Amino acid sequence: MLALLLACTSSLADGFTPSRTPPRRILGRRATATAAPPAVVTEVTAAQVFGRLADKKLLLDVPGAGTPEMKDCCHGGCDNCDYSRVFDEMNAGKAKWVACYVEREHSDGRRHESPVRDLFGGDERLGVAEFVARLGEVDPRPAMGARPA
So what's the pLDDT on residue 111? 92
CA-based nearest residue to 16, from 55, 42, 35? 42
What is the model's pLDDT at position 4?
Answer: 47
Chunked into runs of 10 residues, the chain (149 residues) has average pLDDT values of 49 43 50 53 84 89 88 84 86 88 89 86 84 85 69
